[in-house]
Structure 1
């Protein structure tokens, strides 16, 4: 059955000029968003302050790199990495049962089990890490412990979602092969399911660790340990050379972690 000439004309017209409709919708959305912003302008002190910041960044306080006090740059960057690493490892272990709970199986009819699991993971992800850090600071006191708890809880929601998607998209050929020769459920899991999904689990965990390193630097600003606390103090006291060396340390740390993690993930996937 051939299409009528009217339908062909309408389709060709939309293909040619449909982008104008989408452009108009995008412009309306941008206009609505900009209308809600209150532009207060630039303060008179912006120029001198900007010059001071740039001068401090390009003339960092090298004496702060390491002084043996435990409050220097190297020590606090190590603490930041420890918070991110421990929080990621804890969340990766806890996320595994949540992932199997939220993963949809082909035999599940109404998706009640997986739907409830996905809902729980969504609720966990709802709370930003900085909000969790403030809550844990009130519960356990300021310091690295609160930072580890905040990173762990938030990462459970993220890793649980990624792990569940990896389980759903898993190739079931190995499982079917073991079942066909009489393998039981534990044998299927240990010999087929686990080896198939483990590389993706490790890859997602490494990726999450990269994000946790960045998050741990921010959590210190609310008292959750790490390099963020001295950076906040340096900004408040306008010690721009100290801010410069801290930013330089954070940049080097993040670049090194990203490079190492990227190479490991390429080998796994």
Structure 2
């Protein structure tokens, strides 16, 4: 009996990769055949070809013109929107994180639960929805984009910061209290030194995401590179679309590399 089970386990071990691979292929084939290709417009092929030709032959004159509306200027504005929005959200997230963090693990707390609910509600609003709302409140431009990214990021960073606070070693704080220190001393000399590296790492990661988001917010009027990209698409200026896409790809790649390197240094 044992040898039969052993042989069955051996057969499964040798064939399971093929089984899962075949299952994935079946799911993909089923999904492709479920697509209604008749809904694709006849101009889709021509538009795709035009975009590719625009990337191959980009409008290099748009890179820098010195008028504040060239690619370099709008990309710098996009980075500024993402950076300022991340800084604002990181600062606001700290008190929210202490509100949402559990003082004792595996124990229900009305205070921390209410904080987590607030952060969850904030996360439910996409950046683009917040951008439209802030455009109505403060007008179109980069300021609306900063507010949209800043508010939305609080939901994510607050949750990550709270988890970092919950994971700290309580020993140093208890030692400070045992020798006569107060809660403020414990916060400054025990809690913050443990959580600040994690806070910085999560903020850098959020900055990466905000750079990508900021490139889209301009399409609704919240500043950044999205505005000229949308205008170029509407006017079928595919060479301009190509150079903007290249600029976005290069910028995002550099930011990802630098942010990853900095997070490794902090870790």
- Deviation per CA, 1:151-209: give whole Å up to 9, x if none: 00000101000000101111222222322333221111111101000000010001100
Alpha-carbon distance in 2 for matches of 1:133, 1:98: 22
Alpha-carbon distance in 1 for matches of 2:34, 2:160: 35
CA-based RMSD: 2.9
From 233, 238, 241, the equivalent of 1:240 is 238
From 208, 211, 218, the equivalent of 2:209 is 211
From 50, 62, 65, the equivalent of 1:64 is 62
Alpha-carbon distance in 1 for matches of 2:29, 2:102: 41
Q: What is the DSSP-based 3-state SS (H/G/I as helix, E as strand, rest coil) of the residue aligned with 1:66?
A: coil
Structure 2 match to 1:110: 108
- Deviation per CA, 1:44-96: give whole Å up to 9, x if none: 22232222111111111010011111110001001001100111001111000
- Deviation per CA, 1:1-60: give whole Å up to 9, x if none: xxxx9xxx9xx99xx7xx9xxx8x999x99998899654344322232222111111111
Q: CA deviation at 1:148?
A: 0.5
Alpha-carbon distance in 1 for matches of 2:124, 2:34: 24
Q: CA deviation at 1:257?
A: 0.9
Structure 2 match to 1:89: 87
Structure 1 match to 2:76: 78
- Deviation per CA, 1:121-172: give whole Å up to 9, x if none: 0000000000000111111111111101100000010100000010111122
Alpha-carbon distance in 2 for matches of 1:261, 1:75: 22
Alpha-carbon distance in 2 for matches of 1:32, 1:139: 46
How many residue pairs match? The answer is 259
Alpha-carbon distance in 1 for matches of 2:91, 2:38: 47
- The correspondence of residues 51-200 of structure 1 with structure 2, limited to 5 A, is 51-106=49-104, 110-200=108-198
Assess, with a 3 A threshold, how the Cα gap between structure 1 residues 159 and 39 changes in structure 2: closer, same or farther.
same
Q: Which runs of 5+ in 1 are unaligned?
A: none
Q: What is the DSSP-based 3-state SS (H/G/I as helix, E as strand, rest coil) of the residue aligned with 1:40?
A: helix
